[in-house]
Amino acid sequence: MATGSPAPKHVPVMLQRCMDALAPAISAPGAVVVDATLGLGGHSEALLTQFPEVRLVAVDRDREALRLSGERLAPFGDRATLVHAVYDEIPEVLAELGIDQVQGLLFDLGVSSMQLDEAERGFAYAQDAPLDMRMDQSRGLSAAEVLNTYSHGDLARILKVYGEERFAGKIASVILRERAKEPFTTSARLVELVRNAIPAATRRTGGNPAKRTFQALRIEVNGELEVLDRAIPGALGVLAVGGRIAVMSYQSLEDRLVKQCFAAGATSTAPPGLPFVPEEHQPWLRLVTRGAELATEAEIEENRRAAPVRLRVAERIRAARSTDRRR
């Protein structure tokens, strides 16, 4: 896309559901809300539009996303502050802006629509493209470098853990054999290799057999789970009492981390049988959603990428115990 062209309009996942979830916390004048995953700016635009007195801080590790969203959000002037950062750096970003606490936080995890739709980024297995997959192309190993340099054990591990791939060992063996003939550079060759490595009976169900391998590589390249494991506690640490956090996860590993972190804050740490619960042992989070909420048929029809989403929302109900500030 040429520089200076307007940011393309897209329908953000579960847009109004997220706005409604955050509304009780960010409707008052002076509220600050953080969009932890700016992307093309759809959620941020809605936050600024529906809550005319809110101040937005939005971060993204993708410089092209920041450029496009900057054009989209320009009409809101200094109500929107966009920062090139990874979302585990939110406490540091806010500190530099002189902000101690925020009333709302929104995380839309995984790969953005822009990254999926731009073939040259290498995220989508349906198109032949360079095997990059870095959300920030200015740093880190590309997917091709991972494929061409990791040991069999490390490849099998990331495929099994991050991709939940049953045939991780077999696929890793084929990758090592094939890279010895010629290094991996583009996605089509990898897609075909994975397809041939998986038994025919398994290939007939579950969509493209390469999707788990691509998911695993993307998570590894961007350190997504490690970043998320730091990001949620860090975000909760800057959330004001009465503030809310909404997190949309697209796969079970992400959702499990979010669930565990929310549950820890919403659970009493007092020993069983006490006649009363001392303040330092009381929960400091309230789970707004019962478990994880899924997209409705209407939300999926509006944006098919909403199909796998799990939404969790929590509200801070009191100051955290000092022992809960684990990061």
pLDDT in tens, 7-55: 445 679 999 999 999 999 999 999 999 999 999 999 999 999 999 999 9
- Give the single-character DSSP code of 271: P
Q: Whole-angstrom Cα distance, residue 212 to residue 251?
A: 11
User: Residue 325 — very low, low, confident or very high, per pLDDT cuts 50/70/90?
Assistant: very low
Residue 192 has pLDDT above 60, yes or no: yes
Model confidence at 117: pLDDT above 80: no
Q: Where are the domains of the chain?
A: 15-114+224-324, 126-222
Residue 122 among known ligand-binding residues:
no
Q: Domain 126-222, what architecture? A: Orthogonal Bundle (1.10)
Q: What φ, ψ does residue 36 adopt, rounded to 5°?
A: -75, -15
Q: How confident is the model at residue 205 (pLDDT cuts 50, 70, 90)?
A: low
Rg over alpha carbons for the chain, rounded to the nearest Å, is 21
How would DSSP label each residue in 174-191? HHHHHHHHS---BHHHHH
CATH H-level, domain 15-114+224-324: superfamily = Vaccinia Virus protein VP39 (3.40.50.150)
Query: Count H helices, E strands: the chain?
Result: 14, 8
User: Which is nearest to 112 in space by CA: 320, 326, 305?
Assistant: 305
Q: What is the pLDDT of residues 135-149, one digit of tens each?
A: 888 888 999 999 999
Q: Which residues contact 111 (CB under 8 A, 6 or more apart)?
A: 123, 135, 218
Q: Can 15-114+224-324 and 126-222 be said to share one CATH topology?
A: no
Three-state DSSP class for residue 323: helix
Provide the mean pLDDT of the chain: 88
Please indicate if the annotation marks 43 as binding a ligand.
yes
Q: Which of 2-6, 29-33, 205-209 has the lowest mean pLDDT?
A: 2-6
Is the pLDDT confidence value at 182 over 80? Answer: yes
**How does pLDDT run across 241-264, given as a tens digit for each residue?**
999 999 999 989 999 999 999 999
Find how far residue 38's CA is from the centre of its chain.
10
Q: Is the dihedral of CA 69, 74, 76, 78 positive or negative?
A: positive
**pTM, 2 dp:** 0.86
DSSP result, 194-260: HHHHS-HHHHTSSS-TTHHHHHHHHHHHHTHHHHHHHHHHHHHHTEEEEEEEEEEESSHHHHHHHHH
Q: What is the DSSP letter of 3?
A: T
Contact 244, 24 (CB under 8 A): yes
Residue 84, annotated as binding a ligand:
no
Handedness of CA 177, 182, 187, 192 (dihedral sign): negative
Residue tagged 């929104």 (tokens): 106
- 87 labeled binding residue: yes
* 60 annotated among ligand-binding-site residues: yes
